[in-house]
A and B are shown apart, each in its own frame.
Chain A
Amino acid sequence: MTSQQEIDEEILEYAGVRVPGGHPSRDYPPYRSSGLRHPRQALTVVTDPEAVELYTPVFGAGDVTALDADLTRQHSGEPLGERITVTGRVTDRAGRPVRGQLVEIWQANAAGRYVHRQEQHPAPLDPNFTGAGRALTDAEGNYSFTTIKPGPYPWGNHVNAWRPAHIHFSVFGTAFTQRLVTQMYFPGDPLFAFDPIFQSVTDPAAQQRLIAAYDHGLSVSNFSLGFRFDIVLDGPSATYFEEDHQ
Chain B
Amino acid sequence: MSQNLEPTPSQTVGPFFGYGLPFPGGSDVAPAGHPDAVSVHGFVYDGEGNPIPDAILDFWQAAPDGSRAGSPGSLRVDTSNGRLLGRDGVRFTGFGRVGTDGDGHWALRTFAPAPDAPYLAVCVFARGLLHHLFTRIYFPGAPEDALLAGLSPERRATLLARPESDRVLRFDVRLQGGEAEETVFLDFG
Query: Is B119 an interface residue when CB atoms closer than 8 A count as contact?
Result: yes
Minimum distance in angstroms from A235 CB to a CB of chain B: 6
Inter-subunit contact A44/B8 (CB<8 Å): no
Of all chain A residues, the one with the shortest Cβ separation from B94 is A57
A244-B9 Cα distance, complex, nearest whole Å: 23
Inter-subunit contact B147/A36 (CB<8 Å): no
A181-B55 Cα distance, complex, nearest whole Å: 13
A64-B42 Cα distance, complex, nearest whole Å: 31
Q: Which of B16, B60, B150 contacts A44 (CB 8 A)?
A: B150
Q: A43-B187, A63-B75 are in contact. Are A94 and B19 (CB under 8 A)?
A: no
Q: Which residues of B, 55-113, contact A by the 8 Å Cβ criterion?
A: 58, 60-62, 68-77, 79, 82, 93-95, 113
Q: Which residues of A, 58-84, contact B by the 8 Å Cβ criterion?
A: 58-65, 67-68, 74
Query: Is B34 an interface residue when CB atoms closer than 8 A count as contact?
Result: no
A107-B42 Cα distance, complex, nearest whole Å: 29
Q: Which of B4, B19, B150 contacts A130 (CB 8 A)?
A: B19
Query: Is A190 an interface residue when CB atoms closer than 8 A count as contact?
Result: no
Residues of B within 8 A of A (CB): 1-21, 46-48, 50, 52, 58, 60-62, 68-77, 79, 82, 93-95, 113, 116-117, 119, 121, 123, 125-134, 145-147, 150-151, 155, 175-179, 182-189
Of all chain B residues, the one with the shortest Cβ separation from A185 is B11
Of all chain A residues, the one with the shortest Cβ separation from B61 is A52
Q: A24-B130, A47-B189 are in contact. Are A183 and B11 (CB under 8 A)?
A: yes
Q: Which of A28, A39, A182 contacts B8 (CB 8 A)?
A: A182
Inter-subunit contact A53/B134 (CB<8 Å): yes
Of all chain B residues, the one with the shortest Cβ separation from A245 is B189
Q: Which of A65, A106, A232 contacts B77 (CB 8 A)?
A: A65
Give every chain B residue within 8 A of A38 (Cβ-Cβ): 129-130, 175-176
Query: Is A201 an interface residue when CB atoms closer than 8 A count as contact?
Result: yes
The residue among A46, A61, A132, A205 with the most chain B CB atoms within 10 A of its own CB is A46
- A-B complex: 4 closest residue pairs judged by Cβ atoms: A106-B20, A60-B72, A33-B128, A57-B95
